[in-house]
Structure 1
Amino acid sequence: MILPSKFLPADRALITVGGEILNIINETPRSVSEVWERVSAARRARNKVLGFDWFTLALTFLYSVNMIELDDGLLRVRRDGDK
């Protein structure tokens, strides 16, 4: 589920979806709905549909490994030294 496997294609692995999310919020902090819209639009352009449930699992994974945080309603990448 986190990593691709024989039964889980690389484009559905949480690490891949998480990377797509990080690319979007690395530029500037964004709301969850804006990140979802951008990720789903990019996926649709490549014919790789992603469900909202899988998106939220990727967000949960990124939060649990301290890669992102929610600050004033916006998702942002945690930097070294952030508490």
Structure 2
Amino acid sequence: MIAPTKGVAPQRALLTVGAQILMASERQSLTVTQAWRRLQKWRTENDHKAPVPFWWFVLALDVLYALGTVELRDDILVFREASRAA
């Protein structure tokens, strides 16, 4: 689920979706809705056809939070710089 397995395609693994969220957001502060829309647009533009439902997107955000990459401040997702995430 977090990493690709027999049952979870590489383009749907939570780490992959989390990385896609980071690329789509360009590490700008966004609302959850804006991040969701940017991810959908990014996946379409980059020909990722495997569906990612909203709840899977939220799980990917949870993984990013657990890794110290994103936090929620006043209903805004704030992405930390790579050097500060550790």
Query: TM-score, structure 1 length as denominator?
Result: 0.82
Corresponding residue number in structure 2 for 1:20: 20
4+ residue segments displaced more than 4 Å: none
Shift of 1:81: 4.5
Runs of 5+ consecutive residues of structure 2 not aligned to the other structure: none
* Aligned residue-pair number: 82
| Alpha-carbon separation, structure 2, partners of 1:52 and 1:4 | 19
| Alpha-carbon separation, structure 2, partners of 1:39 and 1:25 | 8
Runs of 5+ consecutive residues of structure 1 not aligned to the other structure: none
Q: 1:27 to 1:67 in 2, by over 3 A?
A: closer
Corresponding residue number in structure 2 for 1:37: 37
Verify the 8 A CA contact 2:14 2:59 in the aligned structure 1: yes
Shift of 1:76: 1.9
Shift of 1:57: 0.4
Moved more, 67-76 or 14-23: 67-76
Structure 2 letter corresponding to 1:19 = A
Task: Report the identity percentage.
Answer: 35
Q: 1:26 to 1:55 in 2, by over 3 A?
A: same
Q: What aligned pairs does 1:1-83 form with structure 2 within 5 A after superposition?
A: 1-45=1-45, 46=47, 47-79=49-81, 80-81=83-84
| Alpha-carbon separation, structure 2, partners of 1:27 and 1:77 | 5
